[in-house]
Amino acid sequence: MTGTTTRALDLRYFAWLRERIGEGGETVETGAPTVRALVEELREREERYALAFSDLRAVRVAVDQELADLDAPIGNAREVAFFPPMTGG
Amino acid sequence: MTGTTTRALDLRYFAWLRERIGEGGETVETGAPTVRALVEELREREERYALAFSDLRAVRVAVDQELADLDAPIGNAREVAFFPPMTGG
Amino acid sequence: MAVRVQREDFDLGAELARLREGRTDIGALVSFTGLVRDLDGRLREFELEHYPEMTARALEGIEAEARARWPLQASLIIHRYGRLAPGEQIMMVATASAHRQAAFEAAEFLMDYLKSRAPFWKKETTPEGAHWVDAREEDEAALERWEERR
Amino acid sequence: MAVRVQREDFDLGAELARLREGRTDIGALVSFTGLVRDLDGRLREFELEHYPEMTARALEGIEAEARARWPLQASLIIHRYGRLAPGEQIMMVATASAHRQAAFEAAEFLMDYLKSRAPFWKKETTPEGAHWVDAREEDEAALERWEERR
């Protein structure tokens, strides 16, 4: 993150992503421009993140509570959420 | 019906067929081998039958309470019913 | 597994509750209810004539066909006859299955057959007079999609 | 025109009765109810996790999409979360329209989207342990039929 502006971002985890990471959410300081870059930062941080994000095909993302793509820009979003494919209904 | 054996057959009429013929049912003596032949007999009998059966595309038939074709044999059936296309549900 | 033909109204909620009562093998429950429509407030009378000796038999045949085609845990058809008021319930079908697709398909199949193959006739009276409701060509056409799959 | 996300159970019959109360413009009312299945009696716990800040918004988006596609007189989505017992109601959708095709299609559309696009996750616990229910590939595939029609 050298040279880039960082800012506070709320992260949320659900279902087995929450269980693997060990918490339902946290606030991080990040300069990641996209969700994918954010995931890379998290993976490098600790083993439990690397494990939770080991298969990205099994991970879904919401940016400010709207479903989004892994390559979505984070922009001025306040909250990014990670979870497995949904099983409503 | 000369030369053929006739027998008693219960007829039933529903919806506008019942209204045009003026009754819900009757018992007739007939030797008609098929429903179509029976309809011909009725048509010749009285004007109200000719009217009710003027457009056979609008007439459905049940023989002994099972949907049947106009050319279905009457056989040993006890009851033949005539009605317009059904509008259940 | 039940068919009822009756003059009286029915309690949709109670029927659906009874269908799944004490069971844990149903994942999906679908219901359809047909109601007397009166868009412009001009409907004076609505009457359903039927062919009593044939009706229950026809409905049971339709239900048996649905149960042969889809894995249903339960099914129900109730159809009324006689004079009904605007907004009243005309009939209902309910289908219960492990998964939603079977429950939805079976309910649609039952309705498509009921529309064109159950011996009921609807008569509406407005200030202009009485008329028998025409069968809709789409209803006959709707049956074809089930024929293809046989 | 209503979406509810709640821990408590709901009264299916009362909800359907309320939907058509005092109305005469509804010809067809379709409901779907999802229930907790436990075929072999081995389900110890069933839990529905959700993303509270997103759930209502997601359901309202799905409902608005259905109302844009079909002429619906009324619609309702209720989805529960939390711990549920075998046989309990998980959720319901109801759609009301003038004709049956619109009501059926809209209900199926809502269900297809709810299955894969509403932020709920199911966890089942049996004597062997707990596991998160996998999304079914058919459920993702079911969405495609609605994409084509756009």
Per-residue pLDDT at C24: 96
Q: How many CB atoms lie within 10 A of CB D123?
A: 18
pTM of the model: 0.94
Query: How many inter-chain contacts (B to C, CB under 8 Å) are there?
Result: 68
Q: Which residue has the tokens 């800012």?
A: A7
Residue C141 clears pLDDT 80, i.e. is over it:
yes
Q: Burial-class residue B66 by CB neighbours within 10 Å (0-12, 13-18, 19+).
A: middle
Report yes or no: C90 and C15 within 8 Å, Cβ to Cβ. no
Residue D147 touches partner A, C-beta closer than 8 Å: no
When computed from its CA atoms, the radius of gyration of chain D, rounded to whole angstroms, is: 16
Contact flag C111-B89 (C-beta cutoff 8 Å): yes
Domains and CATH numbers, chain C: 2-148 (3.90.1170.40)
Long-range contacts of range B21-29, CB-CB < 8 Å, 24 or more positions apart? B21/B48, B21/B49, B21/B52, B22/B48
Q: Which residues of A are less than 8 Å from D58 in CB distance? A: 65, 67
Report yes or no: A27 and A9 within 8 Å, Cβ to Cβ. yes
Residue B2 clears pLDDT 60, i.e. is over it:
no
When computed from its CA atoms, the radius of gyration of chain C, rounded to whole angstroms, is: 16
The 10s digit of each residue's pLDDT in C24-46 is: 999 999 999 999 999 889 999 99
Three-point CA angle C17, D67, A63, nearest 5°: 95
Q: Compute the distance between CA of residue C107 and CA of residue D103 in angstroms, rounded to an integer.
A: 12
Q: Compute the mean pLDDT over every residue in chain C, rounded to the nearest whole number.
A: 95
Report yes or no: D25 and D73 within 8 Å, Cβ to Cβ. yes
Report yes or no: D17 and C13 within 8 Å, Cβ to Cβ. yes
The continuous run of DSSP H or E covering C111 comes out as helix C100-117
| Closest chain B C-alpha to C24 CA, distance in angstroms | 30
**Banded pLDDT at A4 (limits 50, 70, 90):** low
Instruction: Find which of D15, D21, D31 to mutate to test the C interface (most C CBs within 10 Å of its CB).
Output: D31
Domain spans of chain A, in order of start = 27-89
Query: What DSSP string describes C45-82?
Result: EEEEEE-HHHHHHHHHHHHHHHHHHS-EEEEEEEEE-E
Contact flag B67-C115 (C-beta cutoff 8 Å): no
Q: What percent of chain D has pLDDT over 70?
A: 98
Report yes or no: D133 and D124 within 8 Å, Cβ to Cβ. yes
Cross-strand partners of C87: none
Per-residue pLDDT at D1: 77
| Closest chain D C-alpha to A44 CA, distance in angstroms | 26
Per-residue pLDDT at A1: 46
Question: Which of the other chains make 3 or more beta carbon contacts under 8 angstroms with chain D?
Answer: A, C
| Closest chain C C-alpha to B67 CA, distance in angstroms | 8
Give the residues of chain D that fall short of pLDDT 70: 149-150
Report yes or no: B5 and B31 within 8 Å, Cβ to Cβ. yes
Per-residue pLDDT at D4: 98
Q: Which residues of A are less than 8 Å from D116 in CB distance? A: 85-86, 88
Q: Report the CATH fold assignment for B27-89.
A: Ubiquitin-like (UB roll) (3.10.20)
Q: How many CB atoms lie within 10 A of CB C116?
A: 19
Residues 6+ apart with CB under 8 A from C104: C28, C30, C95, D32, D104, D107, D108, D111
Q: What are phi and psi of D69, to 5 degrees?
A: -90, -30
Q: How many CB atoms lie within 10 A of CB C104?
A: 23
Give the closest of C23, C36, C38 to D87, CB-based: C23
Strands C2-6 and C89-97: unpaired
The 10s digit of each residue's pLDDT in B3-51 is: 568 999 999 999 999 999 999 999 999 999 999 999 999 999 999 999 9
Nearest residue on chain A to D55, judged by CA atoms?
A: A65
Q: How many CB atoms lie within 10 A of CB C35?
A: 23
**Banded pLDDT at C1 (limits 50, 70, 90):** confident
ipTM confidence score: 0.93
CA dihedral over B86, B87, C3, C4, signed as positive or negative: negative
> Which residue type is seen at D91?
M
Query: What DSSP string describes chain A?
Result: -TTS--EEEEEEE-HHHHHHHTSSEEEEEE--SBHHHHHHHHHHH-HHHHHHTS-GGG-EEEETTEEE-TT-B-TT-SEEEEEPPP---
**SS3 at position D108:** helix
| Closest chain C C-alpha to D101 CA, distance in angstroms | 9
The 10s digit of each residue's pLDDT in D64-73 is: 999 999 999 9
Residue A87 touches partner D, C-beta closer than 8 Å: yes
Cβ burial D85-108 (10 Å sphere, 16+ → b, else e): ebbebbbbbbbbbbebbbbbbbbb
The 10s digit of each residue's pLDDT in A57-78 is: 999 999 999 999 999 999 999 9
Contact flag D90-A89 (C-beta cutoff 8 Å): yes
